[in-house]
Structures are given as C-alpha cells and as structure tokens.
C-alpha cells in the first residue's frame, strides 16, 4: 500500500498571501497528500480540491462555547480527518477530553488521527510502550470503530531528532499488536528532506505526519516522491 502523507501546517502561515502562494505552488504540482491547514484557511484548501484535516476540534458539538470549532462545521465544510491529542495541545486537555473528541469525530463519520508519544524522560527510562498503551486505552475507551494512530515522540517534534529505524519499527509493531484490525499507523516528528530516505525504510509504517518540512512546497514534493517509491 502506498504511504499516506499528512501535512500538519500548524500556525506557520498566517497571511492570505502566504497561503495562496503555497496553494498555487502545490496545485501546479498536483501533489497527493492530506493538508491540515490553520483552520481559518481550511475553506481555501477545500475550494482548491485538497483533501483536508483539522488540527483540533471542540469537545462540544454545539452551543455557547466561545472561540471553539465544532466537528459539525468541519464536516459540513467537507473536511475528512481530525488530529486529536497532538502533544502541542495535550498539555491543555485531559484524557477524558481526548476520548470525547474521538467519540464525536467517529459519530460524525470523520476519521480521527490519534497522536501519541512519550516524553524524553519516559524514553530515557524505557517507558515508551507502557505510556503509549495507556494513551491508546484512555483515548479509545468505549469505542470500537477504526482510527488512525500517529506515533510522534514528543522529543522528536520540531527538534530535528528522530528515533532509529529499529526503534520506530519496534514501536509501530507494538502499537499494531494492540488492535484486532489492520490499523493504519503513521510516524511523525522531524520528518524532513534529509531523513525521509532512511525513515522510509521502516516497512511497517503506513505514512508520515509532517510539520515544518511540509511548509516548503518543494521539500514536500520531494518527501512525497521518496515516500511513494
Ligand atoms: P515536525 O512536526 O515535523 O515539525 O517535527 C510534526 C508534528 O508535530 O506533527
């Protein structure tokens, strides 16, 4: 199966001009990936024919919740995927909130991408598997529909550091062993033009969630080319 590529654009591009330049370059390349743009620009991506996800949603579906974004509006706009539990958000939310978000995403027939990962301290203390198992159990409590998992060690996000291929293969196998279906598991954390050839040799990884490197269209294009070989 071809590897899936998700571009988590975070809050890197913050003007219409930047976004439109980015979209123009990507459109001309006809790149095959899933864009996860800043939510305010979601419609611009969808209008240009990109398959999209969002970086976060509210735990509430509707009502008096100032500043929140409902899964219902995301769905109505034609968005397909929702990141849940990204480490840049996890600090401000509980396991219970992550579980509620997963449930409302599934209820609305969208696909949750559950981000899990250990801290550097936990990695050094060899507690990675234990922590990932807990994150999965808590997030997916009382659910039985399919999700996507993205394994993103917290210490690898935005740092230029990655686990070795052996470590990634071992962890991805472990995550897959916790499910009774053929789950899609991504790797994320400092995926770049420099390391994609190496990372792509991890055969059990089903795709990559790319942050910073995805904001450069020519890097993204080359990463996709390598990952799809
Ligand atoms: P990065 O981000 O590629 O910039 O490390 C990945 C992510 O946070 O999803």
- The verdict on whether 152 is a catalytic residue reads yes
Residue nearest to atom 1 of ligand 1 (CA): 211
What does the alpha-carbon distance between residue 36 and residue 52 come to, in Å, rounded to a whole number?
6
Catalytic residue among 68, 121, 152, 194: 152
Let me know the angle formed at the C-alpha of 174 by 188 and 142, rounded to the nearest 5 degrees. 90
Q: Pick from 9, 12, 15: which is nearest to 34 by CA?
A: 9
Walk me through the domains of the chain, giving residue ranges and CATH numbers: 4-227 (3.20.20.70)
Atom of ligand 1 nearest to the CA of 8: 9
Percentage of residues in the chain having pLDDT higher than 70: 99
Average pLDDT estimate for 99-117: 98
Residue nearest to atom 7 of ligand 1 (CA): 211
Burial 77-100, CB ≥16 within 10 A → b, else e: eebebbbbbbbbebeebeeebbbb
Q: Is the pLDDT of residue 98 over 90?
A: yes
In the reported structure, the alpha carbon of residue 63 is separated from the centroid of ligand 1 by a whole-number distance in angstroms of 32
SS3 state at 113: strand
**Whole-prediction pTM:** 0.97
pLDDT in tens, 59-76: 999 999 999 999 999 999
pLDDT in tens, 78-87: 999 999 999 9
pLDDT in tens, 164-181: 999 999 999 999 999 999
| Euclidean distance between the first and the last CA atom of the chain, given in angstroms as a whole number | 11
Give 28's pLDDT tier (boundaries 50, 70, 90).
Answer: low
pLDDT in tens, 175-220: 999 999 999 999 999 999 999 999 999 999 999 999 999 999 999 9
In the reported structure, the alpha carbon of residue 191 is separated from the centroid of ligand 1 by a whole-number distance in angstroms of 7
Kindly list the protein residues whose Cβ atom lies closer than 6 A to any atom of ligand 1: 8, 152, 157-158, 188-191, 209-213
Atom of ligand 1 nearest to the CA of 192: 3
């Amino acid at each position: 199966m071809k590897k899936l590529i998700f571009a988590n654009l975070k809050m890197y591009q913050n003007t219409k001009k930047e976004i439109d330049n980015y979209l123009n370059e990507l459109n001309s390349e006809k790149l095959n990936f899933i864009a996860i743009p800043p939510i305010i620009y979601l419609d611009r991506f969808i209008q240009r024919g990109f398959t999209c996800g969002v970086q976060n949603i509210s735990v509430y579906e509707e009502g008096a919740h100032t500043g929140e974004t409902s899964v219902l509006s995301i769905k109505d706009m034609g968005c397909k995927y929702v990141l849940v539990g990204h480490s840049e958000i996890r600090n401000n939310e509980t396991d219970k909130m992550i579980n509620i978000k997963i449930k409302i995403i599934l209820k609305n027939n969208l696909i949750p991408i559950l981000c899990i990962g250990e801290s550097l301290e936990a990695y050094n203390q060899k507690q990675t598997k234990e922590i990932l198992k807990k994150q999965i159990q808590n997030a997916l409590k009382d659910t039985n529909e399919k999700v996507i998992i993205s394994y993103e060690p917290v210490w690898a996000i935005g740092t230029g550091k990655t686990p070795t291929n052996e470590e990634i293969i071992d962890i991805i196998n472990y995550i897959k062993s916790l499910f009774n279906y053929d789950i899609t598991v991504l790797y994320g954390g400092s995926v770049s033009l420099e390391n994609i050839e190496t990372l792509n040799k991890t055969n059990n990884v089903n795709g990559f969630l790319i942050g910073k490197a995805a904001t450069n269209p020519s890097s993204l294009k080359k990463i996709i080319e390598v990952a799809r070989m």
